[in-house]
Amino acid sequence: MDEKLKIKYAKTRSIWRDVADAARTTIHMEEGEKEPSSAWKRRMLLSEHSPIRQMIFKWKWVNLKYWVSVHFVRHKIGIEHYVSTQRTDRTGQNRDEIPQSALVNHECCANAQALITISRKRLCRQASPETIQAWKLVLDEVRKSEPELVSVCVPECVYRGFCPEFKPCGYSETAAYMKALKAYREGAT
């Protein structure tokens, strides 16, 4: 794995009371005083109701391979990307001569729904190991403040209960998969 890759920072702006109050608004209830329980948070995240989009996360990968950065840039709903330029007029290097393995900084701002969605593709065993590693760095940081969110950030096969890939890796036929599926359904974090 890439030893140079790191997360420079990860910031969370998530106030669960705001999420709960938005959820109450959708069902014609008044704002509440009580902090939501861990079980309620997980149910909101599993159901992927719209109020979870109020939770915002920022992070910055430092020394991410350009071709790995491209994998993440493909995600565009609920996320913004800011990637180091390779423009010749800014770097002094001919961009046609810069290899895809060149290192870039890649900063993101995303909501909780985007993290769940990205996880489905970037935790899949069909993703490159470098991409999986980069995404796990983000989730490791998010876990520190939002363990319930990370508990629902699973690969597509776990989310769906089967592998939808054209060429499955075989993971969905293993005991480890059954354990992951059970943990996802039952709420182990």
* pLDDT at position 1 over 70: no
Q: Indicate whether 119 belongs to any domain.
A: yes
Q: What is the pLDDT of residue 15?
A: 85
Quick: pLDDT tens for 141-177.
Answer: 999 999 999 999 999 999 999 999 999 999 999 999 9
Q: Indicate whether 174 belongs to any domain.
A: no
- Of 182, 180, 186, residue with least CA distance to 123: 180
Q: Indicate whether 88 belongs to any domain.
A: yes
- CA pair distance 118, 23, nearest whole angstrom: 23
Contact 53, 117 (CB under 8 A): no
Give the count of domains, the chain.
1
- CA pair distance 16, 54, nearest whole angstrom: 9
Q: What is the mean pLDDT of residues 106-121?
A: 98
Q: Indicate whether 96 belongs to any domain.
A: yes
Domain encompassing residue 39: 6-154
Q: What is the value of pTM for the model shown?
A: 0.91
Quick: pLDDT tens for 2-16.
Answer: 678 888 877 776 688
* pLDDT at position 46 over 50: yes
- CA pair distance 18, 9, nearest whole angstrom: 24
Which residue's structure tokens are 């993290």?
115
Q: Indicate whether 142 belongs to any domain.
A: yes
Q: What is the pLDDT of residue 71?
A: 98
Q: How confident is the model at residue 51 (pLDDT cuts 50, 70, 90)?
A: very high
Quick: pLDDT tens for 82-102.
Answer: 999 999 999 999 999 999 999
CATH number for the domain including 63?
Answer: 3.30.1360.170
Q: Indicate whether 72 belongs to any domain.
A: yes
